[in-house]
Amino acid sequence: MTSSGAIDLLFGGMEKLGPGSDAETLRVLQHLPDNRFDLVVDAGCGAGRQTIVLARELRTPIHAIDSHQPFLDELDRLAQQAGVRSLIHAHRMDIGAIPERFSEIDLLWSEGAAYNIGFANALKNWASALRIGGIAVVSELAWLQDNPSRAASEFFRSCYPDMRAAPENVTTARELGYTVLDTHTLPQEAWIDRYYDVLEPRARALQDHEDDAVRHLAQQVSREIEVFRTSQGSYGYVFYVLQRNLSFESSVSSCG
């Protein structure tokens, strides 16, 4: 089976494809300095849990981007159910290609997806598609303690070696031409409710699957959940609320 098939078997039909919750999305959204946005993009929307919150709250069209068609199909179904289908425009494309398709974005939202193209690379790439003064809200996995648990260090050294401490991500954003307006760390329940509590029994049931790709993914997810339980807050998902500076061009060029 392809890795895409393994993803469908494990995550298919799930509304949340990463840590997060409607309440946390709303909380960050309601604290933005503005609440009127014409062009809104949700990068790495998955099945669109947060896309639907954005559409409901902002009552403006949302361009939802993901590379995996089954997730976009699920978004379509959920948006229909939520009564916001007419506000959501789904695009099957790479989040790294956003500047080729969009410009002058007012609000670029991305929950749990930037890491797929690298956090710094995503911020650099998306800055060129944002209007001056435009807002980017990007969540990213980060170390929250100086001395994380050994289990967490070992797990993420192999699964996500580029993971940084939250203040390092703030510095990166500043160096790439953003003003950091706010940060917000997801509470632990946002990892468990309707995410790990759905994923854990699925992963357990697939531990001994005959297909290598499925077995490997299921075992990795089970290990991730075990590490989370024992990590005592060593790491978390942090939202970075960023505003593109006037001086973006010079900031970017000075960083190479």
Ligand X SMILES: C[S@@+](CC[C@H](N)C(=O)[O-])C[C@H]1O[C@@H](n2cnc3c(N)ncnc32)[C@H](O)[C@@H]1O
Q: How far apart are CA 45 and CA 41, in angstroms?
A: 9
Instruction: Label residue 48 left, alpha or beta by phi (over 0 means left) and psi (-120 to 50 means alpha).
Output: left
What residue number has its CB nearest to ligand X? 46
Q: Does 111 bind ligand X (CB under 6 A)?
A: yes
Residue 137 CB, nearest approach to ligand X (Å)? 11
| Out of 57, 85, 99, 116, the residue judged to bind ligand X by CB under 6 A | 116
| Out of 112, 134, 148, 236, the residue judged to bind ligand X by CB under 6 A | 112
By beta-carbon proximity to ligand X, the closer residue of 26 and 245 is: 26
| Out of 21, 52, 54, 66, the residue judged to bind ligand X by CB under 6 A | 66
By beta-carbon proximity to ligand X, the closer residue of 117 and 120 is: 117
Query: Which residues does 200 contact at the CB level (< 8 Å), separation at least 6?
Result: 222, 225
Residue 70 CB, nearest approach to ligand X (Å)? 9
Q: Does 17 bind ligand X (CB under 6 A)?
A: yes
Token pair listed for 171: 């510095």
Q: Does 124 bind ligand X (CB under 6 A)?
A: no
Q: Applying CB under 6 A, which part among 38-46, 80-88, 172-180, 228-236 lies near ligand X?
A: 38-46
By beta-carbon proximity to ligand X, the closer residue of 96 and 187 is: 96
| Out of 28, 29, 39, 45, the residue judged to bind ligand X by CB under 6 A | 45
CB distance 222 to 204 below 8 Å: yes
Q: Applying CB under 6 A, which part among 63-71, 74-82, 177-185, 210-218 lies near ligand X?
A: 63-71
Binding site for ligand X (CB under 6 A): 16-18, 20, 44-46, 49-50, 65-68, 71, 94-96, 111-113, 116-117
